[in-house]
């Protein structure tokens, strides 16, 4: 059991971070907190990608000079992918905050319960 936990600890970290973020998205009624939750949720996935790029005994993926031919490198591709995904995540947060600012201006609140209430009145 302990081995199982230990051998997969990068996945456990990913799961815990993702669930913390997901909890914020589902349970918090403040829209800014929801947006932060989304950010945490995505960060969990980024860490997952980065951890799968690690190769046992692998060194940094920079060419080792000299005669050595049996060098093991870690996989750099997931890092490159995640750079793109981080940009996407930042843009998502920016769009979310822009919409939230607009909501504050039009409704006077960023609390989901208030918003539901205000919308129901408008019907």
**How far, in Å, CA of 107 to CA of 44, rounded?**
33
Q: Is 58 within 8 Å of 74 (Cβ atoms)?
A: yes
Q: Is 115 within 8 Å of 103 (Cβ atoms)?
A: yes
Give the distance from CA 32 to its chain's centroid: 16
Q: Is 34 within 8 Å of 28 (Cβ atoms)?
A: yes
Work out whether 81 is an interface residue with another protein (CB under 8 A): yes
Span near another protein by CB under 8 A; candidates 1-9, 40-48, 62-70: 40-48
Residue 4 or 68 with smaller CB distance to another protein: 4
Work out whether 88 is an interface residue with another protein (CB under 8 A): yes
Work out whether 29 is an interface residue with another protein (CB under 8 A): no
**How far, in Å, CA of 36 to CA of 96, rounded?**
10
Residue 64 or 103 with smaller CB distance to another protein: 103
Residues making contact with another protein (CB under 8 A): 22, 25, 31, 34, 38, 41-42, 45, 48-49, 52, 78, 81, 84-85, 88, 91-92, 95-96, 99-100, 102-103, 106-107, 115, 119, 122
């Amino acid at each position: 059991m302990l081995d199982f936990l230990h051998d997969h600890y990068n996945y456990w970290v990913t799961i815990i971070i993702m669930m913390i973020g997901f909890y914020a998205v589902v349970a918090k009624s403040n829209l800014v907190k929801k947006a932060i939750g989304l950010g945490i949720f995505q960060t969990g996935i980024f860490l997952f990608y980065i951890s799968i790029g690690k190769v046992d005994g692998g060194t940094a993926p920079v060419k080792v000079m000299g005669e050595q031919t049996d060098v093991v490198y870690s996989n750099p591709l997931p890092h490159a992918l995640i750079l793109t995904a981080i940009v996407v995540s930042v843009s998502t947060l920016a769009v979310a905050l822009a919409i939230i600012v607009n909501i504050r201006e039009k409704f006077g609140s960023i609390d989901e319960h208030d918003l539901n209430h205000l919308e129901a009145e408008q019907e």
